[in-house]
Amino acid sequence: MSELGLTFARLAFLAMLWAFVIATVLVLRRDLRQPADARPAGQVRRRPVKAPKLSRSTKQSKARGSKLVVIEGPLTGTVIPLSTAQVTIGRAADSTLVIEDDYASSRHARVYAAEGSWLVEDLGSTNGTWIDRSRITSPTVLTVGAPLRVGRTTLQLQK
């Protein structure tokens, strides 16, 4: 191979290497950015959100969900009856709802009863727990019919 051909081969290799590095940086940048509507719900408020205090008449008139239903994901149709015990969601074998998903943490979230409502708490998961399109960062009231997303699985509190 001539000296000129070798120089062109080196330059072509260098250009391909830089193209790979730039493509990698662009993909990582896109994956790390969050859309504006996906910002964590707790970033604006400084005080922790507490469960609303309900009077006895409000508790009786407000229908409370009695089951969690998987409406999207590999476990679609799974029904988890709710009682006074908490429900844990994650990949760990001892979770109430075991999700085989790369986007779910071992101990991802928990649902528990407090003051007449069902609360959802993210347990420090990597990809977050979402109600509707808001990421939760503190215990949040789960309303009937609101979609709860853990990884690729979507659950819904139903009556």
pLDDT in tens, 24-47: 999 888 877 755 555 555 444 445
Instruction: Indicate the range of 11-15, 64-68, 89-93 predicted with least confidence.
Output: 64-68
pLDDT > 50? residue 19: yes
The architecture in CATH of the region 64-156 reads Sandwich (2.60)
Position 50 confidence tier, pLDDT thresholds 50, 70, 90: low
pLDDT > 60? residue 128: yes
List residues bridging with 117 in a β-sheet.
114
- pLDDT value of residue 56: 44
Position 62 confidence tier, pLDDT thresholds 50, 70, 90: very low
| Mean pLDDT to the nearest integer, 66-93 | 91
Instruction: List the structure tokens of 56.
Output: 């006895």
Instruction: Compute, in degrees rounded to 10, the torsion defined by CA atoms 53, 48, 71, 153.
Output: -160
pLDDT in tens, 97-123: 999 988 899 999 999 998 888 999 999
CB 68 within 8 Å of CB 87: yes
Task: Provide the mean pLDDT of the chain.
Answer: 83
- pLDDT value of residue 48: 53
DSSP 63: -
Domain ranges of the chain: 1-33, 64-156
